[in-house]
């Protein structure tokens, strides 16, 4: 992305965020990245619940869903939807495993570069690697005592789908607690992670399709 265009997006989101959010200094940014890296290195598994809100411009009400979330290093992720429907998604061994209320489907991520990149995006948002991903231009802010990272996609495929990605980190654990995917249209998906447990024991059956 040209420097002027990248700068424009960063300035735009800086202004849009309002006065309650302050950019991190370079030292604060480096200290924060160090803390996230240390947390990632000491995190083997994660477990919790999630609340997902989908906001679409053509709908008066947002769409909400919820369920359980599991992560195991280096790249196992499971989203287990419980409400309003039963639906499971597992990213495992280069595949996207879908369980739609008993109807199972396997998608080879290598054959779909966009899905493969989205898989990397999800995993890297959990382990903190996304913050230094060269496919994004990243800015850091403080908001209500927590750190928020705003990532502007520079990789072509991602830029076709997302205007920006916001990651909110807990100020004590340095774990991601909120992910917001903002589409080019302005529609967005907000995922809030709740009751996160760091390094719980996970049975292998959790990631069984």
Q: List, for residues 173-199, the tens digit of each pLDDT value.
A: 999 999 999 999 999 999 999 999 999
For the sheet with 63-72, list strands across it: 21-23, 136-143, 146-153, 162-169, 176-183, 188-198, 45-55, 63-72, 76-83, 87-92, 95-100, 103-108
Q: Which pLDDT tens digit goes with each residue over 44-61? A: 999 999 999 999 999 999
Q: What is the pLDDT of residue 7?
A: 43
Q: What is the pLDDT of residue 144?
A: 83
35 near 42, Cβ under 8 Å? no
Measured CA to CA, the distance from residue 47 to residue 195 in angstroms comes to 8
């Amino acid at each position: 992305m040209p420097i002027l265009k990248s700068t424009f997006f960063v300035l735009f989101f800086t202004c849009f965020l309002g006065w309650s959010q302050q950019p991190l200094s370079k030292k604060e940014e480096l200290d924060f990245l160090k803390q996230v890296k240390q947390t990632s290195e000491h995190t083997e598994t994660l477990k919790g619940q999630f609340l997902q809100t989908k906001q679409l411009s053509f709908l008066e009400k947002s769409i909400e869903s919820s369920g359980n979330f599991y992560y195991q290093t280096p790249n196992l992720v499971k989203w287990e939807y419980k409400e309003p429907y039963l639906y499971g998604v597992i990213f495992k061994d280069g595949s996207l495993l879908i369980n739609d209320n008993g109807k199972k489907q396997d998608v080879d991520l290598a054959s779909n570069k966009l899905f493969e990149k989205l898989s990397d995006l999800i995993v890297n948002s959990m382990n903190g690697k996304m913050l230094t991903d060269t496919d994004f231009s990243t800015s850091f802010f403080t908001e209500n005592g927590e750190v928020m990272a705003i990532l502007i996609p520079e990789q072509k495929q991602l830029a076709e789908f997302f205007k920006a990605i916001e990651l909110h980190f807990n100020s004590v654990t340095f774990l991601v607690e909120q992910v917001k995917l903002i589409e080019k249209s302005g529609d967005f998906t907000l995922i809030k992670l709740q009751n996160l447990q760091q390094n719980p024991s996970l049975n292998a059956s959790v990631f069984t399709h």
